[in-house]
Amino acid sequence: MILKTLFGIALALSLTYIFKLVLFLDYHKTVWNHRPGKCHIVEGIDHGSEDMQTTKSGLTFITSGIDGPLFSPTMKEYHKKDNVRGRIMLFNLEKPADGVRELMIVGNQFSYEDFAPHGISVLEEKGKIFLFVVVHRAEEDTVEKFEFLEKTLELKHLKTYKGTLVHLLNDVAATGPETFYTTDYGYYRNHVLHFLEQIIGLYYGHVLYYDGRDFIRVSEPTYMANGITLSKDGRHVYVVSSAGKKFIVYKPEANNRLTKINEVELDTFPDNPTIDPVTGDVLLGCHPIGFKITKHLNDPSTEIAASQVLMLHMDKSGTNVTGVTELLSDDLELYGSSSATLYKKRMLVGTVCHKMMYCEVNTL
């Protein structure tokens, strides 16, 4: 009798876990395709436009060719076969007809070997444009700082930031010329262990802050803290937990520590946030069907994934979400949307390892 009871309990718990996993991976969801206006694929990017940020003048800097320890051997073989390499691209939203171009990196201390850019943040200061970029290399993750040389359309490498608290970085948000927040996505730099860390739901990540000297932990343990950005007024830090399906609002304290003041659950896997420069609302590149993006990231050559862009409407304080607008939903041309940026009713939508889309926005 005791064995039957224990078996019944184990079976019930197993079925409950499987049911929750099916819901979590969105096997029950359907994608309804729609766009905010005329859209087209941008020629020149075929292997990812994972993250992007736009300056006040419409210059959009894009990371492409993401790679790293979190990806499967099949993905790595795909990269090798297609000769995928890490690049930083430029698209001018003031002149969208000009298309996209690669920015060459100059500097004696920079190496293109195993260069895989991921998250990106733009800092405009005293007439200059600086980029902070998360980079995955074979042995470690770093944040790299560049200066944009507009006359020659090059990036000058200035500095590499590394530290003992860094494990598996994802995104970065610059707060000054030598300071920034960055998300330590997880602990394990191994594909299998990283997958288990995600599936089991281990809170092994943190938000880190580089204070000009070293990295410090400034948040509670996090579950897959992915994209990060500052609010329009700089008074709040927005973080998304991709596997947690959450949008989190933090308030920086005097010591740069972060206090969580709001958490919004989303019925999608959010990736990278950017800020509408006019309203302060938050754009999110999202993955609306979990099992499809999982299969796509394992084998982009045969598996497709849906794309979604959400606009989170923020109140005047920048702490509360007052509504959500789905600007784009697509699984016909664009697979695995990870970021979006808006400028003068023009929008770019990036992907983890697919193409990039340009849209005219007529629905806001």
Q: Which residues are catalytic?
A: 118
CA–CA distances in Å: residue 342 to residues 57, 102, 275, 313, 327: 12, 21, 8, 14, 11
184 known ligand binder: no
Please tell me whether residue 66 adopts helix, strand or coil conformation: coil
Query: What distances in angstroms separate CA 39 from CA 35, 75, 312, 347, one per listed residue?
Result: 7, 28, 21, 9
Interatomic CA distance for residues 257 and 296, integer angstroms = 36
Report whether 331 belongs to an annotated binding site.
no
Establish whether 267 is an annotated binding residue: no
108 annotated ligand-binding residue: no
- Would you say 92 is a known binding-site residue? no
Partners of residue 206 on adjacent β-strands: 184
**Would the annotation count 170 as a binding residue?**
yes
315 in a known ligand binding site: no
Is residue 180 a contact partner of residue 121, using CB atoms and an 8 Å limit? yes
Number of H helices, E strands in the chain: 4, 25
The CB-side HSE value for 28 (13 A sphere, CA atoms) comes to 8
171 annotated as a binding-site residue: yes
Residue 165 has a CB neighbour count (10 Å cut-off) of 13
CA nearest 228: which of 209, 254, 203?
A: 209
Task: List binding-site positions.
Answer: 50-51, 120, 170-171, 226, 271-272
Task: List binding-site positions for Ca(2+).
Answer: 50-51, 120, 170-171, 226, 271-272
